Amino acid sequence: MDQSTQEPKHGALKRTVAAVAALNFGYFFVEFSIAVAIASVALFADSIDFLEDATINMLVLVALGWTAARRRAVGLLLAVCLLVPGLAALYTAWEKFNAPSIPDPTILTLAGLGALAVNGLCALLLSRVRHQGGSLSLAAFLSARNDVAANVAIIGAGLATAATGSMWPDVIVGIGIALVNSGSAYEVYEAAMGESDGDDDDDDRIRA
């Protein structure tokens, strides 16, 4: 593939991850504030997920021109990052057991709908470039894809909370985020270990 073909693709990937990082960083503040206000395990875990996604996409942006060896190292770091929301959810759930409370189901549902809109757009954008940056762009895409599923579950938790008046739908969804992200962490780990040193030749041509 010649340089003229690669440069537009590389530029498209940079523009995409920059836009996705901005979207995730912005909604992190929105969802985190709501999670604190209504004491929601699911929203807290998901808000940390937004911050994690913003970080992942910023790392992808700065690491695109690096060698395959350095991309492997960043890919492994991102695999660890994917576990953060799950750990946050488990800790918040433990706190919930010590001080039980029921989140407002209407606010929980609306926050989930907003998160779904943001993550759906991010997943769509990243799906078009997920094969252009090795394990890095794959990490960003998988994280956005997981978030879409998590947001649907959050909406369901809001509806279930309204129907049952129980804290358990919120707690269960929060813990579910931990399980989903642990599986994606392994996928990113495998992709990172598969980074090829031969790809460095392509990077050299891009930077030339």
Q: Number of folded domains in the chain?
A: 1
Token pair for 62: 């700065």
- Which range of 40-44, 90-94, 145-149 scores highest in mean pLDDT? It is 40-44
By residue range, what is the domain housing residue 26? Answer: 3-207
CA-CA distance, 170 to 193, in Å (whole number)? 36
Residues 152-169 have pLDDT tens digits of 999 999 999 999 999 999
Cα 35 to Cα 47, 103, 134, 175, 188: the distances in Å are 8, 9, 34, 15, 28
**Which strand (E) or helix (H) includes residue 174?**
helix 168-193
**In the chain, % of residues over pLDDT 70:** 87
pTM as predicted: 0.77
Those residues whose C-beta lies under 8 Å from the C-beta of residue 53, and which sit 6 or more positions away, are 20, 21, 24, 122, 140, 143, 144, 147
Those residues whose C-beta lies under 8 Å from the C-beta of residue 201, and which sit 6 or more positions away, are none
**In the chain, % of residues over pLDDT 90:** 36
Residues 31-85 have pLDDT tens digits of 999 998 998 999 988 888 898 888 888 877 877 777 778 877 877 887 787 777 7
Q: Which amino acid is at 197?
A: D
Could you tell me the CATH number of the domain that includes residue 52? 1.20.1510.10
CA-CA distance, 161 to 168, in Å (whole number)? 8
Token pair for 199: 């790809």
Where do the DSSP E strands lie in the chain?
A: none
CA-CA distance, 85 to 75, in Å (whole number)? 17
